[in-house]
Amino acid sequence: MAAGEFAIASVESLGAAAAERSLLAQCRGGDAAAFARLVSLHETMVFNLALRMLGNPDEARDVSQDVFLQVYRTLGRFEERSALRTWIYRIVVNLCRNRRRLWMRRKRDRSVGLEQLSARDESQLAQARRGDSPYDAVRRREQAERVQKALLAISFDHRAVLVLREVEGLTCEEIAHSLGIAEGTVKSRLARAREALRARLCTPEAAR
């Protein structure tokens, strides 16, 4: 399809920022296919951020869906001075915080969440790492579980900066945008968060 090829080529030549603007314009115009593209572009990062913040894949999936519905409904209010990505991160963190607050009252989340995570991890790791020996796969899974458990044990705010920085690779400036806090606050929070996690993972008393 010559026409289709031309359209794709012209979008790609716009550059990432301009392509995002044009995608946003299409979404605002009610183009369902454009919004579907926006969702698929960001779905993995939204799900993984929610997963690391909550530790439970089913909750993360529900939050991810809510995130995109909120994106859809508030697209008109998004200011294009910041990247779409940072804005979406902010929605993810806020929705996770709401959900987490509720959980904290119930104090029953952790064991359930981790069991579910490990059950799913198992099959996925087995698929993803066929080249590995069974020992490696198990070791990796256990390690991921240990890290996730430690992440859930530190405070929500510490976890948020840590995941945005180390997993999502945001700069401190981007994190500041995402969380609506000063860059200096991000840096000091990050230092404390890293230390808190180190203490959890590396000192035997804290691990239990």
Task: Give me the least distance between CB of 45 and other proteins, in Å please.
Answer: 9
Task: Give me the least distance between CB of 182 and other proteins, in Å please.
Answer: 16
Would you call 1 helix, strand, or coil by DSSP? coil
Burial class (CB in 10 A: 0-12, 13-18, 19+), 112: middle
**By the 8 A CB rule, do 145 and 163 touch?**
no
H helices within 55-171, ranges in order?
57-74, 84-106, 109-128, 134-153, 156-162
Nearest CB to other proteins, comparing residues 5 and 205: 205
Q: Which residues bind other proteins (CB under 8 A)?
A: 32, 35-36, 39-40, 43-44, 46-48, 51-52, 57-58, 60-62, 64-65, 68-69, 72, 98-99, 101-102, 105-106, 120-121, 124-125, 128, 140, 143-144, 147-148, 151, 162-163, 166-167, 187, 190-191, 194-195, 197-198, 201-202
Residues 163, 190: Cα–Cα separation, whole Å: 10
Nearest CB to other proteins, comparing residues 21 and 120: 120
Nearest CB to other proteins, comparing residues 81 and 168: 168
Task: Give me the least distance between CB of 120 and other proteins, in Å please.
Answer: 7
Task: Give me the least distance between CB of 186 and other proteins, in Å please.
Answer: 11
